[in-house]
Each structure stands twice: as C-alpha cells, then as structure tokens.
Structure 1
Amino acid sequence: MAEAGIDYAAVFQALPGAVALLTARLVFADANEAFLRQAGRAREQVVGRYLFDAFPGQPHDAAASGMRNLESSLRRVLAGGESDVMAVQRYDVESAPGRWEERYWSPVNAPVFGPDGQVVLVIHRVEEVTELIRTVGGPGADLRVGAELYSRLRELEEINRRLRRAHAREREVALALQRAMLPAPQQIPHHLIAVRYRPATVTLNVCGDWYDLVDLPGGDRIAVTVGDVVGHGLEAAGVMGQLRSALSATSRVAAGPAQALDALGRYAHSVDGAESATVVACFIDWDRHTITYSSAGHPPPVLLRADGAAVLLDDATDPPLDAHPEPGPRPQATVSFDAGDLLALYTDGLIERRGQDIDTGLDHLAQSLRRHCGATDPETVADTVLNDLLPADGVTDDTALVIVRL
C-alpha cells in the first residue's frame, strides 16, 4: 500500500497498546481506544485536558508519587529529546466511591520532533502490569515487593538495551575503520589476487583481522601478509592499523619475511594491545618461482599444487608478536611453486570451530581448495571457499582470506 493511502489516524486508534499524545504543555492531543479503555475514561474526559487534571493525584494517599514521577519523566523528554523508560509506578483505581484498588503501570515516554528539531509531542505509552507483578512477587506477596522486583528487571533490560546500542555504534565505527585500512588488490594489478574480509555475524564484535599486499623492489616480487589482533572493537581495529602499517613499511626494506616480522615484533613491544597478535608473511618471487615465509603464531598458509597436493607452509613458525620480553630473530623457510599453483592465507575464523580440532578445519580448507582450484579467477575460489567453510548460521570470529593464483 502506498504511504499516501494509509489512514494513520485509524492506525493510531487500532493500536493494541495504550498510547496517548501529549503536547509540550502536557495537554492530551489524542488518545487511542486502548488507552481510554485501560484508563476507564471517556474521550471528552481526556482529550484537550491537562494531564494532571484528567489524572489527578491520589486523594486517598497523599504520599503517592506516581504522578510526580510521571511529570519528571515527561519534562526530561521535552528538555533532552530522548525516550525515557520509567520504573513501574503505582496509581490506584477507584472501583467504587471511597474504594481504591491497588494498580501498577509501566510507562514509556518518547519525543516527536517538529521541522525545527524541537519536541512538539510526547508519545505516552502505558501498560498495566498489576497481574504480572502478582506473578513476579509470588503467591501472597505484597504487591509493592513484586513491583520493586519488576522495576529492577525493567532497569536491567534498559541498561542492556543501551549497552547494545552503544556496542552496535562502536561496531559500525570499528568496521568502517577496519575496511578503510584494508587494501584492495588493484594495487597489485599484474597478478591474480582475491581478498575477502567477513566480520563476525553472531556477535556485535569486530576483531582485529587484517591482510596486506605490498609490491616489493628488486624484480617481480610481492609481500602478502595476514594477521590477527587479540581483542574486539575500536581498540583492536586501531592496533590492527598500527601493525599493518608498520609491517607494510618494514616489508619494503627487509631482506626477507623473518626480518620484517622481527622488526614488527620489536615495534609491537611498544604498542598497547598488540600482545599475542599473530601474523604470517609470504614474500612471493615470480622470477625465481619461490615463496619465502615466516609465521608469528599464525595458522599456516596453504599452497595447493596443480596436481591437487596441499602443502602447509609450517616450517617457519615462531610464537606470536610480543610473546617474549626480549624479541629475537625469527625463522623463515622457502618453497618453490609452479605456474598455476594456488596460495591461500587466512585468519583462524576460517578454520577454527568450537569442539572441532584445528586439523579438521585445515583438512576442510584443503578439500575446498582442491574442489575449486580449476577456476582461473581467484575471486571465484575465494567466494566458494568462504561458502564451504563458514557456517550458514554465522560465526563468532572475523575472517580474512587472500587467494593468490601463482
């Protein structure tokens, strides 16, 4: 249905929840049928009247604070322009002259802004929770005790909601920062390379996974690196950026990947949050058809040969960055390759699953590469590998993947 054809007044009246609209002067602008029915008031007793004339204080209980608390909440919404979820309030109902029944209500107040950005209306939604409070308090319990327990639960729910919103905002910023710092393969235009980054999907966390591609001097040579920073959010993304940039610079001047990681480890010693970060660096030389590599605690790259043999590049593995008080020289190893071979670098989010041995994940990766190695375009290989290895219901860790057609 087109928006212009919606009768919003009818929608408002049909809402199943009790909702009223208050002006900035706290006069009822409107109230839906559920609100009037729940309040036990006729429309003319509510609409157009000042809130506290329509619902005055409790004459049988001078100490009752429900309406004072409501006014404070509404004033906060008008002044600050933010919604306010109130604790449960007591407001008794006169069931017969001089006879009052104890009732409890759960109000939420939210602003409606005008074109100038000022609050022009307040949405006042209220739900009676007396029976729910009886259940929370237990048989025979004082309703006030149940109301206190219910209010604490509501406060915890609101705190959790605000934390989720703040975490989600941080995730968005961290993810944007992370993606901005990860290079596109176009900077290595003379070789077929695919890169992928997939954030975790079943948590709000953004981790510190990264990859990098660097053109090296001295012939047809590039450095491909993949790393993983421990931690989540903006801090991890910031540390990732520092380490990636440092390794990119050192790779251009280092004699090999071991020397580059040695320098990076010494730098990581001075970076808060770089503890236990892992990284693997591969220097690929197309003139010599060799891959020289070194790993700082990272899962091994996989070299898939044209005959389907999968070789784990795990002969030069050392502890993660900043694992020792005094960083030392790191090992490196060299392996040859033939034209048409495939090299895969990745982070542990691709192969590690709870309750599953890491060797199983490595076997799954090798099998997936074998099935799809016939595809000339590494973009196709990267997509199919992710589809094969990442569960359909999502993962709790980020994944970085680089596929190089050699």
Structure 2
Amino acid sequence: MNVSGIDFEAVFRALPAPVALLTTDLVYADVNDVFLGTTGRRREDLVGRYLFDAFPDNPGDPEATGMRNLEASLRRVAATGERDAMALQRYDVEDPARPGVWEERYWSPVNTPVFDRDGKVVLLLHRVEEVTELIRARDRSDAAGDESRARVLEAELYSRASELQELNEQLRRAHAREHEVALSLQAAMLPVPGPLGDRRAAVRYLPAVSALNVCGDWYDLAELSGGRLAVAVGDVVGHGLAAAGVMGQLRSALSAASRVAEGPAQALEVLGLYARSVTGAESATAFLAVVDWNANTVTYSSAGHLPAALLHEDGSVQFLDAATDPPLGARPEHVARPETTTAFTEGAVLVLYTDGLVERRHEDIDTGLRRLAGSLASHHGADPEALADAVLADLVPAGGATDDTALIVIGL
C-alpha cells in the first residue's frame, strides 16, 4: 500500500525485528526477511499456511505450552482488539534441514491488532524477539558458580513481579469503582422521561463497555408552554467522574435556559457563557430542538454537535445541519448562535443522539451518518420504542460501544 508517498510494504520488510502478519484465523499473510532468517524458513514455507502447521509443538516434549499460550494470546487479541505483550515463552523449532531434530528456543512475543475502516480486527501483527542466547548465557553463568546470585536476582524479579501484579490489581479495582460511581452519578443526573400526553418518545442510554471510558454524554426533555417540547443532547470532552460532574452542570443549566429563552439559539448562547466558568466544559457540544406540534415545526440550533435526524413520513431522512456553530466556549468573544426552523408532517420522527452511536475508529463520520440514515429508513413506520431498539441493534457493535451512547426518538 502506498499512502502519501510512503511504501508501507517496504517499511514492513525493513523492520529490524522479526515480524509476521496473520489473519484472524491464524494464517500467515506475510512475513519480513528478519522473521525468515530468525526461524530458518523460506517465504513459501509460511505464507498461506496455518501458524501451527508451520510451527507445531515439539512432539518430544509433552509439557510444551509455548504454542498453546501463543494461540490463546492471538485469539484474545482478535476478539478484544487489545494489544498483548506476552511473558517469556519457550517453544522449540524444528530444524528444516534435519527433520525430527528440535532446537530449544526462547522468545519474547508481542501481538497487536490491525483494524479496518469499520474498526474491525482484520489482521494480527505478531512481533517476536529471540532471547535464546540470553537464557543460555544465564545457564552458563549458573554452571560457572553464579547460581546463588542468579537465584537471588530471580527471587527479586519474582518479588517485583508480584508487587507489580498487586499494583495492577489495585488500579483495576480503582477503575472499576470509578466506573460504578460515574455510572451512578450519570443515572442520578439524567432525567427519567415523564408522560408526554398522547405523544410518543423513547430514550436509550448505553454506557461504554470499557471501565476507562465512562463519558459525559447527556440528554434532556422539557415540556414548554404552548404545547411545545424542548429536547437536547450533549457530550462533554473527557472520561470518568470529572466528565460526569461537568455533564450534570451543563444539562441542568440548559434545561433551565430552554424554559425561559426565546428559542434554542438563545438557550445555547446562555449555556456557552455559563460553560466558560465551568472547568472541563471547554469544547463540550450540545444540540437543542424545540418541537411545536401546533405549528408542525422543529426549531433547532447546534453547538458543535452531530445533526439530529428527521425521519419523514415517506421514509426519507433529513439531517438538521443548517444551524451548526462551534462547541461551547470555543470562541474568545460572544457571538449570537444560528437557529433555523423546519416543517414536518404528522407521522414523522425526530432522532437525537451522541457520537457513540455513529463514530467508529478509522472511519469518516459521513459513513456513520449514512449508516444511521439507512437504519432509520429501513425501520420506517415503527413506533419510537421499537425504532430505538432497532437502531441500536443495527449500529452498536456486537461487543458494545467504546463510547457512551445516548439516543432520543420523538414521534411527531
């Protein structure tokens, strides 16, 4: 592949460490020259072959676990999309010139996922460093009379490893507690939608699957005078308790402003001025719409947020992007925000959401918006509750989203 003048295939082959590319089925897709030299194999011996057909376990060593450990690591990386630096492994290699003769070898492997544009793991980058000579040197040192010193060093290493393992466990528990507290805080601050008369609405909130990624997404619904409804979504930059706290302040401020402002633009102007006094609120985004059922209109304004979608009665989808402005607090001076109004007919549906629904790693945002429009159109005619469930089923990855997702569906 050649991007911006860079020949990535040449870069791969020139890497100084032994590196192989594997499919998620653990078949060799490519290897660099250093990998061939280290393993004593030819390219045609490896490319297109299953990893453990090319390098089986030593049949003369029934206690060999290196290949099983490697397989478990690679399949875990393929399933989770998370890099894995393995502990030191022993797995012997058969001498290609002497079939049946196995050489004792020691390796330090690192396995890394490679994603496609949709954020799906499609390849595994397997890098190994051979440390056989280091192990043999240690053994020779032991044989020369340094066994006691080596044992002391080994004991110290085990001790340090145990301490590190305990620290990692403490950190994991701390992140888990923060995750639980942040979720509880979010749940306490996000409103439970009340009855809207004969109007139909559905709200969904899905926390991120990672304990490190509890975010500041929020939503709000407020009934206004004159048979109108204010509906908003927003997103705070950052993660954890701090983001959840900022989220609560901004949601409450906008909920109050939307009840007294002349329209969505003025409410977001007030929120923007308030955000300048809230640490962590910089560059937060928000979208506010006011539905007027008497006039059959939606008036809206956006502060850097993704556009709401209007699913018309005929199944067409319109993104409300005609009144978009920078995020809250992004401008050094106060400037009036834009606002626009669009009409709808009875039977239409208004959909507001946060970026966790449509954004994916290595993918342009327009791709996610097209995916949302396709899902809405394919489920045209469903009531808000069924439509909300269908959209989440279509758009949220099977393993869960890596970012919080808020979704509001209003039947018009």
What TM-score do you get using the length of structure 2 for normalisation? Answer: 0.64
Instruction: State the alpha-carbon separation in 2 of the partners of residues 327 and 167 from structure 1.
Output: 38
How far off its partner does 1:154 sit? Answer: 2.0
Does the Cα contact within 8 Å between 1:213 and 1:223 map onto a contact in 2? Answer: yes
- Pairing partner for 1:208 from 206, 212, 216: 216
Matched, 1:245 2:252: yes
Does the Cα contact within 8 Å between 1:203 and 1:396 map onto a contact in 2? Answer: no
Spell out the pairing of 1:79-118 with structure 2 (5 A cutoff).
none
Does the Cα contact within 8 Å between 2:357 and 2:405 map onto a contact in 1? Answer: yes
Spell out the pairing of 1:2-401 with structure 2 (5 A cutoff).
138-139=138-139, 140=141, 142-217=150-225, 219-375=226-382, 377-401=383-407
Instruction: State the alpha-carbon separation in 2 of the partners of residues 305 and 138 from structure 1.
Output: 73
Query: Structure 1 stretch 166-175 or stretch 188-197: which is displaced more?
Result: 188-197
Give SS of 1:279's match. strand
Instruction: State the alpha-carbon separation in 2 of the partners of residues 245 and 188 from structure 1.
Output: 20
Gaps of 5+ in 1: 1-133
Letter in 2 for 1:179: A
Instruction: State the alpha-carbon separation in 2 of the partners of residues 290 and 150 from structure 1.
Output: 69
Q: Deviations over 1:144-166 (max 9, x none)?
A: 12222222222222111101101
Letter in 2 for 1:359: D
Q: Deviations over 1:349-392 (max 9, x none)?
A: 000000111111001101111111211x2111101100100000
Q: Which residue of 2 aligns with 1:31?
A: none
Does the Cα contact within 8 Å between 2:212 and 2:239 map onto a contact in 1? Answer: no
Q: Deviations over 1:151-184 (max 9, x none)?
A: 2222222111101101111111110110121112
Instruction: State the alpha-carbon separation in 2 of the partners of residues 188 and 341 from structure 1.
Output: 16
Relative to structure 1, the CA distance from residue 271 to residue 137 in structure 2 (aligned partners, 3 Å threshold; closer, same or farther) is farther
Letter in 2 for 1:197: Y
Does the Cα contact within 8 Å between 1:201 and 1:394 map onto a contact in 2? Answer: yes
Instruction: State the alpha-carbon separation in 1 of the partners of residues 283 and 311 from structure 2.
Output: 29
How far off its partner does 1:202 sit? Answer: 3.5
How far off its partner does 1:192 sit? Answer: 0.4
Does the Cα contact within 8 Å between 2:265 and 2:338 map onto a contact in 1? Answer: yes
Q: Deviations over 1:276-299 (max 9, x none)?
A: 100000011001111010001100
Gaps of 5+ in 2: 1-133, 143-149
Q: Deviations over 1:103-155 (max 9, x none)?
A: xxxxxxxxxxxxxxxxxxxxxxxxxxxxxxx9799533612122222222222
Letter in 2 for 1:360: T
How far off its partner does 1:326 sit? Answer: 2.4
Does the Cα contact within 8 Å between 1:230 and 1:276 map onto a contact in 2? Answer: yes
Q: Deviations over 1:303-337 (max 9, x none)?
A: 01111211110011111111122232111111000
Relative to structure 1, the CA distance from residue 169 to residue 304 in structure 2 (aligned partners, 3 Å threshold; closer, same or farther) is same
Instruction: State the alpha-carbon separation in 2 of the partners of residues 272 and 150 from structure 1.
Output: 44
Relative to structure 1, the CA distance from residue 215 to residue 152 in structure 2 (aligned partners, 3 Å threshold; closer, same or farther) is same
| Root mean square deviation of aligned Cα | 1.7
Relative to structure 1, the CA distance from residue 405 to residue 135 in structure 2 (aligned partners, 3 Å threshold; closer, same or farther) is farther
Give SS of 1:185's match. coil
Give SS of 2:178's match. helix
Instruction: State the alpha-carbon separation in 1 of the partners of residues 203 and 178 from structure 2.
Output: 24
Relative to structure 1, the CA distance from residue 154 to residue 253 in structure 2 (aligned partners, 3 Å threshold; closer, same or farther) is same
Relative to structure 1, the CA distance from residue 155 to residue 403 in structure 2 (aligned partners, 3 Å threshold; closer, same or farther) is same
Query: Structure 1 stretch 318-327 or stretch 380-389: which is displaced more?
Result: 318-327
Instruction: State the alpha-carbon separation in 2 of the partners of residues 204 and 135 from structure 1.
Output: 38
Relative to structure 1, the CA distance from residue 336 to residue 136 in structure 2 (aligned partners, 3 Å threshold; closer, same or farther) is farther
Relative to structure 1, the CA distance from residue 203 to residue 234 in structure 2 (aligned partners, 3 Å threshold; closer, same or farther) is closer
Question: May I ask how many residue pairs the two structures share in their alignment?
Answer: 271
Q: Deviations over 1:22-80 (max 9, x none)?
A: xxxxxxxxxxxxxxxxxxxxxxxxxxxxxxxxxxxxxxxxxxxxxxxxxxxxxxxxxxx
Give SS of 2:194's match. helix
Give SS of 2:332's match. coil
Letter in 2 for 1:308: G
Letter in 2 for 1:299: L
Q: Indicate the structure (1 or 2) with the bigger Cα radius of gyration.
A: 1
How far off its partner does 1:258 sit? Answer: 0.3
What TM-score do you get using the length of structure 1 for normalisation? Answer: 0.64
Does the Cα contact within 8 Å between 1:304 and 1:343 map onto a contact in 2? Answer: yes
How far off its partner does 1:401 sit? Answer: 0.3
Instruction: State the alpha-carbon separation in 2 of the partners of residues 340 and 184 from structure 1.
Output: 24
